Amino acid sequence: MAREGQESPLLKVEGLAISHGDVPITLPLEIVVERGETIAIVGESGSGKSLTARAIVGILPPGINAKGAVTLDGVPLMRLAERELRTIRGSRVSMLMQDPFTMLNPLMRSGDHIDEMLRDRPEFASRAVRADEVKRRLAEVGIVDEDVARRMPFQLSGGMCQRVALAAALARDPELLIADEPSTALDVTTQAEIIKLLRRIQRERNMAVILITHNLRLAFSTCQRIYVLYAGSMLEVGDAAAVERQPFHPYTLGLLLSEPPVDIRVPRLVAIRGSVPRAADVIDSCGFADRCEWAKQICRAGKPSLAARDASRFTACIRQDEIQGELDALRSATLSATPETPRRGGTAGALVHVDALVKTFAGRRGRPICAIRDVSLHIMAGESVGLVGESGSGKTTIGRCLVGLETPTDGDIRINGIAAADFGAMAKADRDRVRRTIQMIFQDPYSTLNPKHSVGQALREALGASAGAPSPAPQERIASLLAEVGLSAAYATRRPASLSGGERQRVAIARALAVKPAILVCDEPVSALDVSVQAQVLNLFRRLQVEHELSYLFITHDLAVVRQIAERIYVLYLGEIVEEGPTERVISNPQHPYTRRLIESIVRSAIQRAP
């Protein structure tokens, strides 16, 4: 996979195999990074992306081992002692993590993280000189407010923390930056800003970048070459433009088509069924075979190797020549699918009516912070409504006010005709009725499930909180709830820690359905999921809406996602609604500058723009 006619690559990874004891996590991998080049390693959670990145710089967790060869500009990194590796980390190769709060010491001021990286350089021996350099480094990542250097990480937004973490990662001027999901935890506009910033700095420094991501749209818009990793094996490698134009492996195409298009609302998102297996379980066969529509016995008879198809393309699909026409046809059919016209909600009175809602929190030094300003909205029976905006816009606060987790400072909330602005002041009968009418699903299902309780216990508790009307035996009802969200009855005995992110979210949805609600408030329910799992869960939401005649308030920062689920949307900016209307009209013809900025921030793949 080395490129002919060029000087030796900056980084060469040969036969890199990672294991936990005798259990393989990745099978031998080959990766090449040229000087100044940006490559992407893409794949779902559990594929081995992050551990591969950590193995390159020698920071694997205890008990995890790596074999093979990693050569950085002629230096064999895996042969170096830890003391020697420390001199290379930061100065020649550096890492930027997904969550900036894990990179920044919560007890250190933001500027001190950069200062610490400069102290061992003779030219920055003086504290005053370092202070000037810290200022310059922060300016390089777009931070011109000098007060930021004096703030603690918890006083900064997620995007600002990521900028500080990037400045610290670049402080020793590395030749190679490994960015592990650097924008996944951020809202869409901040994502776009961080990626644009990273690309600018990379070009200015002629720095090589390895981008670790599950987002192929992001990879195609940023990188020259793509490595598709799945269950510890490379399934496809090639120039980004060529892979985007015509993926050779069914898994690559599945990832591409799992991305919700912003241009149209499709009848059904393409979702890859199942989940990523362990490398140890597919060591002698194609790891993707059990999830592949084109798999045959030959795919399970042995481990397919990564084979060249032309000078710049490699694939591990042994049936690629036979099925390429079908892959292309599926892509074409998906992109040309007739846009779905969302069904209209009922014509009866609104199930949820919010009028002039205000919520003020006590800020630092007693200064009030107004999170919501004069917000009015309604949700009809059977209708799905999107609430869109960046982090800090007030979306979650509105959702929490609707379910009684926050009490608004002013304004009125009526749910199914019951005044519900202050749950504490409601009669018990009314409060119980409202809680059965409206339920909430949160972004992180793990934090809302008791880790000591089995799935069956969680659902049994939810059923116990229902109306007490006659129902099937609890075990039957639990099995029925699990079946509704696509899980088998066997999941009742499992605990949250043994579930994947998508499975946990399905359990959270099942728990919300236990009381047979009319309305679900869904707070970023798919933002923490891989694109393939996100497509599965979005399809589930749409099916449940039809089967149960549910109404949704779907809270998200992603307009591509909201287009697939909502019939109307409200756009929220700094606590105020700045635009509202049918989803099709708002996205196709936005009137407010903020809405236009949200739409422009969406990374679009050419596969979704192709005719």
Which residue, chain included where needed, has tokens 């026409």?
Answer: 325
pLDDT, average across residues 364-368: 74
Contact status, residue 357 vs residue 375, Cβ threshold 8 Å: yes
pLDDT tens digits, one per residue of 462-475: 888 764 554 557 88
Residue 549 Cα distances to 142, 332, 383, 487, 516, angstroms: 47, 32, 8, 21, 10
pLDDT, average across residues 519-526: 92
Is 348 a residue whose pLDDT tops 70?
no
pLDDT at 472: 59
pLDDT tens digits, one per residue of 177-224: 999 888 776 777 777 888 888 888 898 889 999 999 888 888 998 899
Residue of higher predicted confidence among 161 and 419: 419
Please state, in angstroms and rounded to a whole number, the distance separating the CA atoms of residues 345 and 550. 10
Is 607 a residue whose pLDDT tops 50?
no
Residues 6+ apart with CB under 8 A from 127: none
3-state per-residue secondary structure call for 541-607: HHHHHHHHCCEEEEEECCHHHHHHHCCEEEEEECCEEEEEEEHHHHHHCCCCHHHHHHHHCCCCCHH
Measured from the Cβ of residue 588, the count of other Cβ atoms closer than 10 Å reads 12
Which residue, chain included where needed, has tokens 């900064």?
Answer: 156
Q: Which of 22-36, 144-158, 455-469 has the highest mean pLDDT?
A: 22-36
Query: Tokens at residue 190, please?
Result: 């901040």
pLDDT, average across residues 316-341: 86
Q: Which letter does DSSP use for residue 36 in this model?
A: T
- Beta strand extents in 142-207 (DSSP E only): 176-180
pLDDT, average across residues 430-436: 93
Q: Which letter does DSSP use for residue 106 in this model?
A: T
Looking at domain 11-92+174-334, which CATH architecture does it have?
Answer: 3-Layer(aba) Sandwich (3.40)
pLDDT, average across residues 419-426: 93
pLDDT tens digits, one per residue of 73-101: 999 999 999 999 999 998 899 998 877 77
* Minimum mean pLDDT range among 294-308, 332-346, 400-414, 542-556: 332-346
Contact status, residue 552 vs residue 520, Cβ threshold 8 Å: yes
Instruction: Tell me the pLDDT of the chain averaged across its residues.
Output: 88
Residue of higher predicted confidence among 397 and 346: 397
Angle at the Cα of 462 from the Cα atoms of 461 and 464, rounded to 5 degrees? 65
Phi first, then psi, for residue 419 (nearest 5°) are -65, 120
pLDDT at 317: 97
Helix (H) or strand (E) holding 26: strand 23-33
Is 33 a residue whose pLDDT tops 60?
yes
pLDDT tens digits, one per residue of 459-515: 998 888 764 554 557 888 899 999 989 888 999 999 988 887 788 889 999 999 998
Q: Whole-model pTM?
A: 0.85
Looking at domain 352-448+516-609, which CATH architecture does it have?
Answer: 3-Layer(aba) Sandwich (3.40)
pLDDT tens digits, one per residue of 371-422: 999 999 999 999 999 999 988 889 999 999 999 999 999 999 999 999 999 9
Which residue, chain included where needed, has tokens 């490595």?
Answer: 227
Contact status, residue 39 vs residue 211, Cβ threshold 8 Å: yes
pLDDT at 341: 63
Q: Which stretches of 403-525 are DSSP H helices? A: 428-437, 445-448, 455-464, 474-484, 501-513
Contact status, residue 16 vs residue 55, Cβ threshold 8 Å: yes
pLDDT at 313: 94
Is 5 a residue whose pLDDT tops 80?
no
Contact status, residue 504 vs residue 517, Cβ threshold 8 Å: no
pLDDT tens digits, one per residue of 263-291: 788 888 888 988 899 999 999 999 999 99
Q: Do domains 11-92+174-334 and 352-448+516-609 have the same CATH topology?
A: yes
Please state, in angstroms and rounded to a whole number, the distance separating the CA atoms of residues 485 and 533. 13
Question: Domain-by-domain residue ranges, the chain?
Answer: 11-92+174-334, 106-171, 352-448+516-609
Contact status, residue 138 vs residue 148, Cβ threshold 8 Å: yes
Residue 281 Cα distances to 166, 269, 300, 306, 497, angstroms: 37, 29, 12, 19, 20
pLDDT at 609: 39
Contact status, residue 71 vs residue 12, Cβ threshold 8 Å: yes
Strand-pairing partners, residue 474, are: none
Up-side HSE of residue 353: CA atoms within 13 Å toward CB? Answer: 10
Which residue, chain included where needed, has tokens 């040229």?
Answer: 34
- Give the pairing of strands 551-556 and 568-573: unpaired
Query: Tokens at residue 306, please?
Result: 């990564």
